[in-house]
A = this chain, B = another copy of it.
Amino acid sequence: MVANPQRRTDVTDAALAVLGGGGSRALTHRAVDTAAGVPAGTCANYFPRRADLMLAMAQRIFVRVAPEPHEVARLEGVPDEEALPAYVAYVVERLLRNPDLTRALIELRLEASRSPEVAAVIGPFLRRGAAEDMDFYRTRGLPGEPRIVLTLHHVVNGVVLDHLTVPLDPEADPVAVATAATSRLMRDLD
C-alpha cells in the first residue's frame, strides 16, 4: 500500500469525529473506516496500534482548532480594552461551532492523563498556545499580568465543557458568559 498523506489525514479526521461523537469506546478501526467512507482495513493499515491513531489525532486536532487567519487579523484591529473579551468570544464561538471536534479534544485530554505518549504530544501544543496568548497580551501592552491568560483558558474550557455536556443554565449564551467573565477579570487589573 502506497502511503497517501491526504487519505491518512481524512482517516484521522474521521477518527476525531468518531471519538468526539461516541467517546473512546466508540473508537474502533471499523467505525473509523465507516465514518471516513474508506474500504475496511484502511484505518488499521495506517494506524495498526490504537496508540498510533491517538497520537495522529492529538497532532491533527490542533490544526483543526487553530484560529482562522482572517479572524486573527480582525482581532488585531480591535481596541485594546475590548481585545481580550473579543478574543475569548472568538475562541468560544470557534470551539462550539464544531461540537464533536471540541468533545474530541476533551477526550484526548482525558486520554493524556492515562497515556504519557499522548500527553507528550498534547502538552506542548496546549502550552505553546497559552504562551502565544501571553505574547499577544504583552505585545498589545494590556493592563495587568499576562498570566491571567491561563485563568481565561480555564474559564473558556469550563464554559465549553458545560455547554457541550450538561449545561447548568440551558438558556445562557456561552459566548456572553465567557466574555462577561473576561471583562470582569480584566477590569480589576487596571
Contacts and interface: CB of A to CB of B under 8 A. Distances in A.
Interface of A: 21-25, 27, 103, 106-107, 109-114, 119, 122-123, 126-127, 130, 150-151, 153-159, 161-162, 164-166, 168-169, 172, 177-178, 180-181, 184-185, 187-189
B21 A24 contact: no
The 8 closest A-B pairs by CB, nearest first: A154-B158, A158-B158, A109-B165, A157-B158, A24-B25, A23-B24, A25-B25, A184-B188
23 contacts: A23-B24, A23-B111, A24-B25, A25-B27, A103-B110, A106-B110, A106-B161, A109-B161, A112-B165, A126-B166, A130-B169, A151-B155, A151-B180, A151-B181, A154-B159, A154-B178, A154-B181, A157-B161, A157-B162, A158-B159, A184-B184, A184-B188, A188-B188
Contacts of A103: 110, 113
Contacts of A155: 151, 154-155, 158, 181
A62 B82 CA distance: 39
A158 B164 CA distance: 13
A24 B27 CA distance: 11
Contacts of A159: 154, 158
Interface SS of chain A: helix, strand, loop or mixed? Answer: helix
A150 B165 contact: no
B180 A23 contact: no
A169 B148 CA distance: 12
A150 B177 contact: yes
A25 B177 CA distance: 33
A158 B165 contact: no
Given A24-B25, A158-B156, A184-B185, A151 B165 contact: no
A177 B188 CA distance: 15
A100 B154 CA distance: 20
